[in-house]
Amino acid sequence: MASLHRMKTLFQSPTDPAFVQNPYPFYDRARQQGDLFYWEDYGLVAAVSHKAVNTLLRDRRFGRETPAELAKPGPSHLAPWLNVESHSMLELEPPRHTRLRSLVLRAFTSRAIAALEPSIELMCHDLVEKFPDGPFDLLQAYCTQIPVITICRLLGVPEEMAPQLLHWSHAMVAMYQANRTRLTEDDAVRATQEFTTYLEDYIEKRRKDPREDLITRLIVAEEDGEKLSRDELITTCILLLNAGHEATVHAIGNGVKTILATRAQQPVLSPDTIDTTIEEILRFDPPLHMFRRYAYDEVEIFGHRFARGDEVALLLGAANRDPVVWPHSDVFDPTRKISANTSFGGGLHFCVGAPLARLEMRVALSILFKRYPDLRLVEKPQYSDSYHFHGLSKLMVEI
C-alpha cells in the first residue's frame, strides 16, 4: 500500500461513546483531509467524500470477495456462520453474484413488493391502535414490528416466528459490529445453526406444498437451467431476512427521531413531501455507515495507489453529508431536491430491497404522523454501540 502523496492518518475509536452517538463531526474533520484518509483504528484507507465513495462503489476493480490467494480458512469455531456467509450474494462477485442476484430479482419482483402495501397499511394501523397512554418505546412497539412482519409475509414464514427470527438475526448481524467479542461469535454461531435447521425444515414443507410466497418462488426460480442449491437457498432466505429488516428498522427509527427533533423548523409531513422526506432521512442519518471493498488490481485513484488485496472502507454516512453535493448538509431539510444518496450502496451490490424499504418507510411514517400529529419525544434518544450500523437502542415517546 503506497500513497502517491502523503495521506492523513486519523484516530477515532468506533466504540467511543461520543462517536457512536454522533459520528458526523469526525466525518467532517476527515473530509477536510481530502477524498481518502487512513483510519488508524481500523488499519484501513477510508473513502470519505461523496465522489470517492460513489466512484469506488461502482469501480469494478474493487469488490466484496476476498482475492483467492488471500482467502484463509476462518477460525473453526466460526465454521457454521462462515459457511452461510460464503453463499451470500453480499459477499460474492460475478459470475456467481450475477446468477444469485438474478434469481432473487426474479422472485423479488416490483409487483410482489407493491402487492404488500395494503397489508403494511393495515399492520401499521393495528400497531398504532395498541399504543399505550403513557411513555413507551416506539422502536419496539412500531419500528421493529413493521419490517420483520413484512419480511415474514414476503418469505411465507409464519408471523408468530417473528420474535425468534429477530433474535437469530440480531445475533448474526452483530458479527459486523466494531465491538464484537467471543461471546458475540458464539451467539452468532448458535443462531446460524438454529436458523439453518428451521429453514431446512420449512423449505422442505414448501417443496411439498408450494404457496404464493418468496420461498416457493426461490425454490422454482431458474437461471439458464440452474436453480439455487440448498445452501444458496438457505443463505438467501437468511440474507433477505437479516438485511430486509435490520436496516429498515433503523431507517424508520432514525427518521421518526429526526422528524420529532427538528419538527419546530419543518413543514408537516404530507403526501406532497413524503418522498423527499424519506430520501432526506436516508441521506441525513442512514442506518448503515460503512461498506468494505478489496482492490483486485493495482489501482491508482484519488492520489493513492492500492495494491491487489488492499481493503478500503467506504463511509456512506460521511458521503451523504458532503457539502459539495448537498449545501447545508448538516441541516435536515425534507423539501430538499432529491439527489442520489449512497445509503443503499451502489453498483453491482445496490440493495435489492431498496424499493421495499422505501415503501415501508413511506407507509409507516405517513400513518404514524397522520394518526398522531402531536407525537413527542420524552427523553433524548440514544444510539446503540453497534458501529458500523447506526440505529437507536430505544425511542421513548408519548402520544
**Residue 48, all three cell numbers:** 470519505
How confident is the model over 280-319, as pLDDT tens digits?
999 999 999 999 999 999 999 999 999 999 999 999 999 9
Asked if the model's pLDDT at residue 161 lies above 60, the reply is yes
Per-domain residue ranges for the chain? 2-398
Pick the CATH number of 2-398 from 3.20.20.140, 1.20.1440.230, 2.60.120.260, 1.10.630.10: 1.10.630.10
Q: Are 290 and 30 within 8 A, CB to CB?
A: no
Please give the average per-residue pLDDT across 259-273, as a whole number. Answer: 80
User: What whole-number distance in Å separates Cα of residue 319 and Cα of residue 340?
Assistant: 11
User: What whole-number distance in Å separates Cα of residue 317 and Cα of residue 261?
Assistant: 19
Where residue 233 falls among pLDDT bands split at 50, 70, 90? very high
Residue recorded with cell 439527489? 339
User: What whole-number distance in Å separates Cα of residue 283 and Cα of residue 279?
Assistant: 6
**Residue 389, all three cell numbers:** 450500523
Model confidence, pTM: 0.93
How confident is the model over 95-128, as pLDDT tens digits?
999 999 998 888 778 888 888 999 999 999 999 9
If phi > 0 it is left, if psi is from -120 to 50 it is alpha, else beta; for residue 27 that is: alpha
271: burial class by Cβ within 10 Å (0-12, 13-18, 19+)?
Answer: exposed
Q: Are 338 and 279 within 8 A, CB to CB?
A: yes
Where residue 344 falls among pLDDT bands split at 50, 70, 90? very high
Asked if the model's pLDDT at residue 1 lies above 60, the reply is no
